[in-house]
A and B are shown apart, each in its own frame.
Chain A
């Protein structure tokens, strides 16, 4: 009875709740002593939240410990600067640059497609489209983001590559261009949706001020709204490119399995992710150097995407506080 009375919120608690909900309610909880069940449940929920941290620790520990076996036999310097990657063919060479080069080539082609198109689509949706149209077009674009990547791989290999063969007769069956273009279409919704959110957050007073000075709609969109939303747009670019770097099945199916340090998009290449799949499909005994190789490549991939995701996260956070 006593415990119950104490858990009844005091008037000033109620005021606190309505002024700043996320911080105030836990304080309210602390004032009363919770039942045994309540306390157990609280710790269970806390355990659930901790699992996300354990996952990160697990990822880092797994990658580092298995990659350590690799770097025991291959020096870090040779790995990062070598230009030949033949881990399963003799003579073996473990220079990761061809895989990194292939990954960068694909991501660059995808970015060339997705960044301008995604940004322009975002401007259209945010500044031009009537709200009815936006309500229809946005979900349709988001379907693109929900289609499994094997499907994009199939599409690149059986539809886009034959089309490209009409333009570039000497293009290979597996090539970087087709995979890159399809990857670009795949990440358009990531760019357009995040950029549009950033533009919608730009206050209307800025637009109205520019219109009052006699600016046209395009001028307002490109010279006022876009710069004002720039950090959100940049964050969307970074997150989309990071997604392109980590994407696996599309490149495995359409871009080939030839580690090849080239800038020619008509050639077959291999990305870091496609290499991991290639070795996973074959017989790689646990603990062998080949087995550890996929973890070394995985660690590099994880670090690259981690840096990009953190950049995106902090840029978005800064932009959110702006208006």
Chain B
């Protein structure tokens, strides 16, 4: 009886606090969305007037109305292709080992910690690794495309491994057992059952990893140092520049016109990223549908 007197529910007051805090939470969620919308609006408004076919098909120039992103665009295409060539087979291989073969041991748990740490290493540090190991040691001071691709491959490898492992883990164990029951050995089960089943998931993760590589500028600055290039690389042993570096270069100039060109470059970069992500999402959705059918 006494307790009932001491305890005051103050329910109307607590509900009012609840409503106020709810609004705060909602606003907090909106901050990110508002930031995203403002960013996209700014870039499109500034960049749209400069976008044209000539912009995609011209080399950088001191005259804003003649400047284009041809060398950077093709440099990015080259870099992505070569990065994928290194990162995808090695990343998927490592994922298969860790998921299908590795027995829990000190070595594998060290690989786990190491992978999670590698994913958090600042990208500029990869650039220093590439500068010292690939540019200076392997290519004797030549700042070539191949050195950039090898560095970028190391940078995106943890992402490829993580995504591939998740895709492999999602393959039901009964599928593997069915393979063993047919007399298959480990490699046959992996090759014939696990990898084909995990493929859509692996592709999705790989595309996302490559889109990370497309947007990275810092490690490539450390390696190529070049931001003004008026040719398209013809082979992997040539110098190169990429889209984000060209955008950085234009943004750093004081003239307003170059800011506009930078925005146009950003639109091109974001459209490329959007296309890659759209493909990844379509792949993932199709994959999920297949799964829910069976």
Contacts and interface: CB of A to CB of B under 8 A. Distances in A.
A252 B185 contact: no
A147 B39 CA distance: 10
A276 B124 contact: yes
Interface of B is mostly: helix
Nearest to B91: A48
A158 B260 CA distance: 10
Nearest to A67: B128
Contacts of B131: 280
B257 interface: no
Interface stretch (A55-63, A78-86, A89-97, A201-209): A55-63
B239 interface: no
Interface stretch (B48-56, B62-70, B108-116, B196-204): B108-116
Interface string A266-295: 000000010011001100001000000011
Given A55-B157, A249-B244, A306-B117, A148 B215 contact: yes
Most buried by A among B39, B43, B161: B39
B26 interface: yes
A286 B90 contact: no
Given A35-B187, A52-B158, A148-B273, A21 B173 contact: yes
Q: Is the interface of A mostly helix, strand, loop or mixed?
A: helix
Nearest to A56: B114
A274 to B, nearest CB: 9
A281 B248 CA distance: 12
Interface centre among A55, A150, A313 (most CB of B within 10 A): A150
A34 to B, nearest CB: 5
A259 B68 CA distance: 34
Contact of B111 (A49, A151, A219, A276): A49
Given A35-B187, A121-B28, A146-B211, A301 B125 contact: yes
B21 interface: yes
B152 interface: no
Contacts of A242: 120
B33 A137 contact: yes
A32 interface: yes
Nearest to B214: A148
B167 interface: no
Interface string B1-45: 000000001000011011001101111110111011011001100
Most buried by B among A17, A46, A63: A46
A146 B28 CA distance: 20
A7 B185 CA distance: 7
A120 interface: yes
Contacts of A17: 173, 176-177
Interface in A140-172: 140-141, 143-144, 146-155, 157-159
A63 B128 contact: yes
B22 A52 contact: no
Interface in A6-48: 7-9, 14, 17-18, 21-23, 25-29, 32, 34-35, 37-38, 41-42, 44-48
Nearest to A24: B173
Give the 8 A-B CB pairs with smallest separation, nearest first: A246-B122, A148-B215, A48-B93, A120-B28, A45-B97, A38-B187, A248-B218, A309-B120
